[in-house]
A and B are shown apart, each in its own frame.
Chain A
Amino acid sequence: MFHIIKNSSVKTISFSTVSGRLYRGLSSKPNPSEKDQQENDEKKVKQQKYQELEKLQYRPLYLDAQATTPMDPRVLDQMLPYMTHLYGNPHSRTHAFGWESEKAIEDAREKVAKLINADPKEIVFTSGATESNNIAVKGVGRFYKEKKKHVITTQTEHKCVLDSMRVLESEGLKVTYLPVKTNGLIDLKELESVLTPETSLCSIMMVNNEIGVRQPISEIGKLCRAKKVFFHTDAAQSVGKLPIDVNEMNIDLLSISGHKIYGPKGIGALYIRRRPRVRLDPIQTGGGQERNIRSGTVPTPLVVGLGAACEIAQQEFANDEKRVAQLAKRLIDGITKQCPHVILNGDPQARYAGCVNLSFAYVEGESLLMALKDIALSSGSACTSASLEPSYVLRAIGADEDIAHSSIRFGIGRFTTEAEVDYTIEKTVSHVTRLREMSPLWEMVQEGIDLKTIKWSQH
């Protein structure tokens, strides 16, 4: 549903239509009755979900750490005073209420900066990684557009980056969507060949949210710096989980999300380098807060929460890393030992351990997800479960349609337990085995028939 079309013809379409089109993957609007039908269906699905909720006997266990993470109680502990008696507007200059909130924000800014080895002055608070990505991509693209009309990204970025790129395209910029190799990584030679004196920005995510692969950020940074191209990285899935040093890695802009690192939802940050200075056109204007880059009253409790989350991530870094790697290994080994024909999507080495995307050949991913209802998981198809299209990320790494359809993402985090992993292994293995026994394809494989030699009738 998310086709990457180079030089597409969306130049004249307004923003909302562009995104609407992207998400539906249709070039024409649905007619009214179709729309009614769609709305009705959505309503039914919602009702079904809510009914499910009422019947819930146990809480499912949570293995979806890439979607969001639970808040760390230590984070909430720091936030609560700012949700009760410390309610001052941090921009109030004339009284103690303002000063104490301002101080809390500056403390938090320092903690965020420290985690990525930046200067606090280089951190701007936003509502999340989506907003940070929008500001970085559109902001830089627009600011330099008179002189430099080219930007670069990859085909496996998060939708908010791809969508911002589409908008730049509609404003007359040229966008290169770099393909990735079958391991999910970009080809540095290919990147080098598309960096031109016309290029203002290169935006490549650090860790992919679906398959967990880790791009060679230092090398990309070096290339971009040498060619005087600003380098933005979406680090929503990697801040606090991988060591990051914006100076060593030559990163010029970096997006952070609070709720992926055990902080609150609705808060994020954007790192913007001061030397050499990165300039950008703000998207939201008004009171001029956050150095004119993001106007609007800064939400003190959320910012305090983000700061606390970053501080804890730094303190717990070694422990989290070891633990997540250990549990991921336990999960992968446990499943693959008992289940043949399981594929780990994405590069086996260059990855963040906590994101395990597995394809179970000859099993329908959606059926498996249904069977694993007491485990909160996500299928490889990032979009709504109603969509039957496989994810654009899996398609970009060249996964076969059936492999893409049979993929499931297991997300392990700070609060995942061994018992949860063992439970997941046991349930996954038993349901995969059961579903395969019901599959005629699996029967053929067992009989030694090579499926590739079979001619399927068109449908």
Chain B
Amino acid sequence: MNSAKQPAIILYRQLLRECHKFSLYNYRDYFLRRVREEFHQNRNVKDSSKTAELLKRGQENLEIIRRQVIIGNLYTPHQRSICDNHEHSFIASR
């Protein structure tokens, strides 16, 4: 693994881990998808100033998501989304 990719992979994993913590199904689904799309789209960026810029933006987003996960989890609804429930039972029944 080349060393320029290392920070990106670490950030990617941190972002995914954090996005999984969104208690609201729709936010979780959206941000997981967007993180994956974004990293996939930029996977071949070689220009070092460009990668630095992307990493900085990713880091800022990680901080936003961290804060919003905390706030979201302070006010979780009593019920889960009907689709959330379906997806989970679907996985559990496999």
Q: Identify whether the interface residues of A are mostly helix, strand, loop, or mixed.
A: mixed
Q: Decide if B74 is an interface residue (CB 8 Å cutoff).
A: no
Which residue of the partner chain A has the closest CB to B77? A59
Question: Which residues in B have their C-beta under 8 angstroms from that of A59?
Answer: 77, 79-82
How many cross-chain pairs have Cβ atoms below 8 Å apart between A and B? 56
Across-interface contacts of B65 in A (CB, < 8 A): 73
A423 touches B64 (CB 8 A): no
Question: Which residues from A are CB-within-8-Å of B84?
Answer: 58
Within 8 A of B (CB), among A407-422: 414-417, 419-420
The chain B residue sitting closest to A60, CB to CB, is B82
Q: State A58–B71 Cα separation when bound (angstroms).
A: 21
Q: Does A70 contact B (CB under 8 A)?
A: yes
Interchain residue pairs with CB less than 8 A apart (28): A57-B79, A58-B79, A58-B80, A58-B82, A58-B85, A59-B79, A59-B80, A60-B82, A61-B82, A61-B83, A70-B26, A73-B65, A73-B68, A74-B64, A74-B68, A77-B64, A77-B67, A80-B71, A319-B34, A374-B82, A415-B26, A416-B26, A417-B25, A417-B26, A419-B87, A420-B83, A423-B82, A423-B83
Instruction: Decide yes or no whether A177 CB sits under 8 A from chain B.
Output: no
Q: Smallest distance from the beta carbon of A69 to chain B beta carbons, Å?
A: 11
Chain A, residues 187-223, CB within 8 Å of chain B (1/0): the string is 0000000000000000000000000000000000000
Closest to B72 in A: A73
Q: Is the CB of B68 within 8 A of A76?
A: yes
What is the minimal beta-carbon distance from A427 to any residue of chain B, in angstroms? 10
For A419, what are the chain B residues with a Cβ–Cβ distance below 8 Å?
29, 83, 86-87
Interface size range on B against A = 20 to 34
What does DSSP make chain B's interface, helix, strand, loop or mixed?
helix
| Chain A count of residues within 8 A CB distance of the other chain | 22
Which parts of A29-74 form the interface with B (CB within 8 Å)?
Answer: 56-62, 70, 73-74
When C-beta atoms are compared, the residue in chain B nearest to A76 turns out to be B68
Q: Mark A70-90, 1 if CB is under 8 A from B, else 0.
A: 100110110010000000000
Given contacts A59-B77, A319-B34, A319-B37, contact A73 B83 (CB under 8 A): no
CB distance from B58 to the nearest CB of A (A): 14
Q: How far is the CB of B39 from chain A (nearest CB, A)?
A: 14
Closest partner residue, chain B, to A413 (CB atom): B26
Which of A61, A73, A420 has the most chain B CB within a 10 Å cutoff?
A73
Name the 4 nearest CB pairs between A and B, nearest first.
A73-B68, A415-B26, A58-B82, A417-B29
Question: Chain A nearest CB: distance from B72 CB in Å?
Answer: 7
- Chain A nearest Cβ from B74, distance in angstroms: 12
With A319-B34, A423-B86 in contact, do A56 and B72 touch (Cβ < 8 Å)? no
Question: In angstroms, how far is the closest chain B Cβ from the Cβ of A148?
Answer: 48
